[in-house]
Every structure is written in structure tokens, then in C-alpha cells.
């Protein structure tokens, strides 16, 4: 099985992301089954305002959609989007016919099944509010426990791979707040934060599990391919090859 694991960051191009790339590549391959290959890919450009700007999100999402089309053409079995904002949620499913798994959609539903009540640990308020909207979009408000966030820049988050202690302390404080409100499972609001915790071996707060979102996404991807092999496939809502080619040609996305 071949999994295309898509990041929304410019992995492999901007050296800022190298600590995350190294940790992620190693981890997802370890989590995957022996007969599964996981290829971690990034986008060409990631702007610092991508979390706060709708326009930056739009441009970033376009790169992910194009990569989904490439993944199907290159024979990948499943396309996994490893960003908690689930960019391209509707569009990716429309442009390719292979199974698709999105990080927050997959992990939120898993948390609801495994724990009933779940909460988020976010490194800033913007991401927390965006993901609270996702919880509502996926119909899981009754399973969600509200929480606060701590204040950390993306650069500070990346530095956590080398100096994790302040981040771990902040995660423990936020986690305890959510646990006190009834959360039975904790999820990070960013997969980079998840990988900092995974690398440090921090998988719970006071016995309440922190879901490994990257690992869970890989296993959901494998599961979706297994379902397809069993004759259980997703809704046939994707465009025909002819319609897709016509749209891309009309908008000069592709010759």
C-alpha cells in the first residue's frame, strides 16, 4: 500500500520545517503496517499568515488539491491530509477517486468513539477557534469539551523539537483544565505540536490519553483502503476524468 501524506507546510524546501519533517517521516513509517509505504510531501510555499488569512489559506489549499490529483495519477492508494484545518475538505474528494482521509475529521470521530468526550490543546487562540468550527461542521459538538489555549508562535513550536520543556508544561496545564471539564481524550490543535509530544514520549496528561494525530491518520488511511478492497467505498461524488480535465483547462490550471 502507498500512502501520500500531505502537509500544508513547505517540507523539504524551507529548512525551518526540517525538525518537523524528520520526526514526521520517521514516525509515520513506524506506525504504518509492514507492507505500507508512507511518502510525506509538502507544498511549494507556506506563508506565515496562512493560519490567519483566508486568502493565504485559499492559495495553500490550491497546492494541496493539485497534489491530490498528482497522487492519484502516480498510483497512490490513499491521500491523507495531515493538517488539522483539513484544507481542501470538499475539493479533494471531488477531484480524485481514491480514498481520502483528513486529519481532524478522522481524529475527532475516533476520539468520540474511543472516549465519548474530547478536547483540544491549542498553541494559540486562532487555531482553537478554527477547530471548534470544525467540530461543529462534523456534527460532534455534543462530544466536545471547551478549553483555553496557550500563546506560542510557529517558530516557538518548531523550537520545541530541541527545547520541549516549556511546551510540555503548557500542554499539561491546558490538558488538566480540559480534564477537569470532563474530557476523556486530548487532541493537539496542530500536528506539529503532536509531533513534539510524540518525539518526547508524552502521550497523556494525568492518565488521560493524548491522541497521536499523525499515527491515527495513517491508520485511518490504511483502514479506508482495506474497506475499499472489501467492496465498501466512499460516495461516488468525484468528477469524471473528462470533466476534471475540462475544468482545469478552462481555468488554465493545466494544458
| Position 50 in a domain | yes
pTM tops 0.75 = yes
Q: How far apart are CA 15 and CA 55, in angstroms?
A: 24
Q: Which of 68-82, 139-153, 229-243 has the lowest mean pLDDT?
A: 229-243
Domain that residue 133 falls in: 105-212
Predicted confidence at residue 51, as pLDDT, reads 84
For residue 137, give the CATH number of its domain.
3.40.50.12500
| Position 255 in a domain | no
Predicted confidence at residue 255, as pLDDT, reads 52
Q: How far apart are CA 223 and CA 71, in angstroms?
A: 18
- Residues 151 and 113 occupy one common structural domain: yes
Predicted confidence at residue 191, as pLDDT, reads 96
Q: CA-based angle 103:158:184, to the nearest 5?
A: 45
Cα dihedral 226, 228, 229, 231 in deg (nearest 10): 130
What is the pLDDT averaged over residues 101-127?
96
Supply the DSSP symbol for 17. Answer: G
Q: How confident is the model at residue 121 (pLDDT cuts 50, 70, 90)?
A: very high
What is the pLDDT averaged over residues 72-92?
97
**Phi first, then psi: what are they for 64, rounded to 5°?**
-70, -40
- Residues 79 and 60 occupy one common structural domain: yes
Q: Give the helix ranges, DSSP H, for 150-190.
A: 154-159, 165-180
Question: First CA to last CA across the chain, in angstroms?
Answer: 31
| Position 16 in a domain | yes
- Residues 123 and 99 occupy one common structural domain: no
Q: State the average pLDDT for the chain.
A: 94
Q: How far apart are CA 183 and CA 186, in angstroms?
A: 7
pLDDT per residue over 28-55, tens digit each?
999 999 999 999 999 999 988 888 899 9
Predicted confidence at residue 225, as pLDDT, reads 97
Amino acid at each position: 500500500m502507498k500512502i501520500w501524506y500531505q502537509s500544508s507546510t513547505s517540507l523539504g524546501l524551507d529548512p525551518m520545517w526540517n525538525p518537523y519533517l524528520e520526526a514526521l517521516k520517521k514516525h509515520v513509517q513506524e506506525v504504518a503496517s509492514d507492507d505500507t509505504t508512507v511518502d510525506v510531501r509538502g507544498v511549494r510555499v507556506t506563508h506565515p499568515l496562512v493560519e490567519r488569512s483566508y486568502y493565504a489559506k485559499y492559495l495553500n489549499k490550491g497546492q494541496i488539491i493539485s497534489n491530490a490529483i498528482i497522487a492519484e495519477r502516480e498510483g497512490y492508494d490513499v491521500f491523507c491530509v495531515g493538517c488539522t484545518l483539513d484544507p481542501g475538505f470538499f475539493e479533494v474528494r471531488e477531484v480524485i477517486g481514491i480514498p481520502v482521509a483528513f486529519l481532524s475529521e478522522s481524529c475527532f470521530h475516533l476520539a468520540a468513539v474511543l472516549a465519548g468526550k474530547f478536547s483540544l490543546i491549542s498553541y494559540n487562540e486562532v487555531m482553537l477557534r478554527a477547530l471548534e468550527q470544525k467540530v461543529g461542521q462534523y456534527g460532534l459538538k455534543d462530544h466536545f469539551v471547551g478549553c483555553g489555549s496557550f500563546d506560542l508562535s510557529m517558530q516557538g513550536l518548531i523550537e520545541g523539537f530541541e527545547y520541549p520543556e516549556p511546551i510540555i508544561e503548557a500542554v499539561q496545564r491546558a490538558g488538566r483544565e480540559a480534564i477537569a471539564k470532563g474530557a476523556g481524550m486530548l487532541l493537539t490543535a496542530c500536528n506539529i505540536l503532536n509531533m513534539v509530544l510524540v518525539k518526547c514520549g508524552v502521550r497523556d496528561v494525568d492518565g488521560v490519553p493524548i491522541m497521536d494525530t499523525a499515527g491515527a491518520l495513517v491508520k485511518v488511511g490504511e483502514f479506508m483502503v482495506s474497506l475499499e478492497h472489501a467492496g465498501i467505498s466512499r460516495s461516488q461524488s468525484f468528477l469524471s476524468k473528462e470533466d476534471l480535465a475540462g475544468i482545469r483547462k478552462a481555468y488554465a490550471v493545466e494544458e
